Amino acid sequence: MHQFKIDRNTVEHIIDGSIVINSIDLMLDILKKYPAEPHLVRIYADLILKYKMHEAAARSYNRAAILFLDNGKMLPAIVAKISQWHIEMPSDQHVKSFLLELNNSHNRELPIGHFFSKLSIHELKALCSLFENIRLPGGQVVKEIGDTEDHLFFIVSGRLKDSIYPTLQNQRKVFRKPTLTLSENDFFGDIYPFNKEQRSQSYIETLEPAELVRIPKEKLMRICRKYPNIELGIIDLLSIRSITDKEIPVDEIRKESRHKFTLGLELEIYPENDPEQAIYLEGESEDISIGGMSINIDPTNIREPQTVSSIEKTVSDSRINVSVITPTLLLKISGKIAWHREVVHNGTKTLALGMQFDEMSPKIRGLLFALFNSLD
């Protein structure tokens, strides 16, 4: 028999890594006392995986993911799920079920929750395949001023200190902004635009033991070429991060990200393989941001011989012009179709589109902000 006091203080030290348990029997005893503690379930899965108990480890990672979601911890749930998928390749149905669980989680209204909830099955699988999991002790420097910005980081657990030293525009003078404390569900890494090399303006270090997930910029660029909707999400995330650096309250940040507006739309789609044959449709917005919008096509507006399926086959990477119609404003925006899929909307099969806006003139951007403010 082991002589080991199992109390909440001990559990906290096990979770932060200052106490390491190498005995399966001892971990089982701890789990008997704290069966619903997701971090312990995941630590147990890590332990038995070392002993090549693959099936049992996969089940434990799955249980940890469920418990994390029940506790409103989206990123730890995703990390646990990825560990399970490394052991057993998930089916599309399995990934779809997990996506539904993410969509129903408490974190959906957070920027990171909104980002993951907008991904398709294949987009989620592709993105998660790039995750690199790292654990750091307290006092560890993650990024220094002047470092190349070559990773996007998500914080799974722990707290980090972000001291920002931006350079004043058109000057060499550097000033220090108030320190930010980053924690679970936060993210950092100034990696966009992808084709521009950025240098860090932050000094970031851990305040306590922390777990991060990082995605290399080069690998992220490659999957964004295949899945442009991921790039749209990254643009939204990093625009929110930029706003956070300006110390705008969280509820204001939400206004700067995606807006749930239903707006009438007139669409002109120019298929990549036959741009002279425009497709004219009507629809409505699902949500809209400064970088793009999600659109549901009005199926009653589809004229024979066209069908939902035939249109979907022709719209990949197509150019699109959208007229946004409101009682007081007609706004025309151009861009490209970043993603598309068949959906059921209002009980009817139709087509959903993701539109990525072209670079806007200051006038059009101002009109779009005016639209947001009038409808909020």
pLDDT beyond 60 at 320: yes
Contact (Cβ atoms closer than 8 angstroms) between residue 340 and residue 295: no
DSSP 33: H
Q: Return the structure tokens found at 245.
A: 């650096």
Q: Tell me what pLDDT residue 369 has.
A: 67
What architecture is domain 132-256?
Sandwich (2.60)
CA atoms of 93 and 236, how far apart (whole Å): 28
Q: Tell me what pLDDT residue 170 has.
A: 44
CA atoms of 125 and 129, how far apart (whole Å): 6
Element (H or E) spanning 200, and its range?
Answer: none
Q: Tell me what pLDDT residue 329 has.
A: 64
Q: Tell me what pLDDT residue 253 has.
A: 39
Q: What percent of the chain has pLDDT over 90?
A: 40
CA atoms of 193 and 198, how far apart (whole Å): 9
> Highest mean pLDDT range out of 31-35, 165-169, 371-375?
31-35
- The phi, psi pair for 164, rounded to 5°, reads -105, 130
Q: What is the mean pLDDT of residues 299-317?
A: 82
Q: What is the mean pLDDT of residues 152-168?
A: 83
Count Cβ atoms within 10 A of the Cβ of residue 174 and give its class: 0-12 exposed, 13-18 middle, 19 or more buried.
exposed
Q: What is the mean pLDDT of residues 58-79?
A: 94
Q: Tell me what pLDDT residue 125 has.
A: 92
More confident site: 242 or 352: 352
Residues of the chain with CATH 1.25.40: 8-108
Q: Tell me what pLDDT residue 4 has.
A: 64
Contact (Cβ atoms closer than 8 angstroms) between residue 331 and residue 375: no
CA atoms of 242 and 177, how far apart (whole Å): 13
CA atoms of 43 and 14, how far apart (whole Å): 9
Render pLDDT for 180-223 as a digit per residue (tens, 0 to 9).
889 888 889 989 888 888 898 889 999 999 999 999 999 999 99
Q: Would you place residue 314 in the very low, low, confident or very high pLDDT band (cuts 50, 70, 90)?
A: confident
Q: Would you place residue 311 in the very low, low, confident or very high pLDDT band (cuts 50, 70, 90)?
A: confident
Q: What is the mean pLDDT of residues 318-347?
A: 82
CA atoms of 259 and 264, how far apart (whole Å): 15
Q: Tell me what pLDDT residue 135 has.
A: 92
CA of residue 233 relative to chain centroid, distance = 6
Residues of the chain with CATH 2.40.10.220: 264-375
Count Cβ atoms within 10 A of the Cβ of residue 87 and give its class: 0-12 exposed, 13-18 middle, 19 or more buried.
middle
**What is the pairing mode between strands 160-164 and 202-206?**
antiparallel
Q: Would you place residue 167 in the very low, low, confident or very high pLDDT band (cuts 50, 70, 90)?
A: low
CA atoms of 317 and 355, how far apart (whole Å): 10
CA of residue 120 relative to chain centroid, distance = 12
What architecture is domain 264-375?
Beta Barrel (2.40)
Q: At residue 304, what is the residue type?
A: E
Q: What is the mean pLDDT of residues 294-312?
A: 84
Q: What is the mean pLDDT of residues 321-338?
A: 81
DSSP string spanning 114-152?
HHHHT--HHHHHHHHTT-EEEEE-TT-EEE-TT-B--EE
Nearest CA among 139, 228, 233 for reference residue 187 = 233
pLDDT beyond 80 at 132: yes
Helices (H) and strands (E) counted in the chain, each on its own, are: 13, 14
Q: Would you place residue 18 in the very low, low, confident or very high pLDDT band (cuts 50, 70, 90)?
A: confident
Q: What is the mean pLDDT of residues 32-58?
A: 96
pLDDT beyond 80 at 368: no
pLDDT beyond 90 at 61: yes
Domain 8-108 has CATH 3.30.60: no
Render pLDDT for 104-129 as a digit per residue (tens, 0 to 9).
876 666 778 878 888 899 999 999 99
Q: What percent of the chain has pLDDT over 70?
A: 83
Q: Tell me what pLDDT residue 373 has.
A: 62
pLDDT beyond 50 at 229: yes
Listed in sequence order, the DSSP H helices in the chain are: 8-15, 24-33, 38-50, 54-70, 74-87, 92-103, 111-117, 121-128, 217-226, 228-245, 250-256, 308-312, 362-375
Q: Tell me what pLDDT residue 42 has.
A: 97
Q: Which residues contact 106 (CB under 8 A, 6 or more apart)?
A: 72
* Residue given tokens 């506790």 in the structure block: 71
For the sheet with 151-157, list strands across it. 132-136, 210-216, 151-157, 187-188
CA atoms of 345 and 299, how far apart (whole Å): 9
Q: What is the mean pLDDT of residues 260-268?
A: 86
Nearest CA among 225, 253, 223, 222 for reference residue 239 = 253
Q: What is the mean pLDDT of residues 276-280?
A: 86
Global pTM value: 0.64
pLDDT beyond 80 at 2: no
Contact (Cβ atoms closer than 8 angstroms) between residue 285 and residue 261: yes
Q: Tell me what pLDDT residue 118 has.
A: 81
pLDDT beyond 50 at 175: no
More confident site: 228 or 78: 78
Q: Would you place residue 22 in the very low, low, confident or very high pLDDT band (cuts 50, 70, 90)?
A: very high
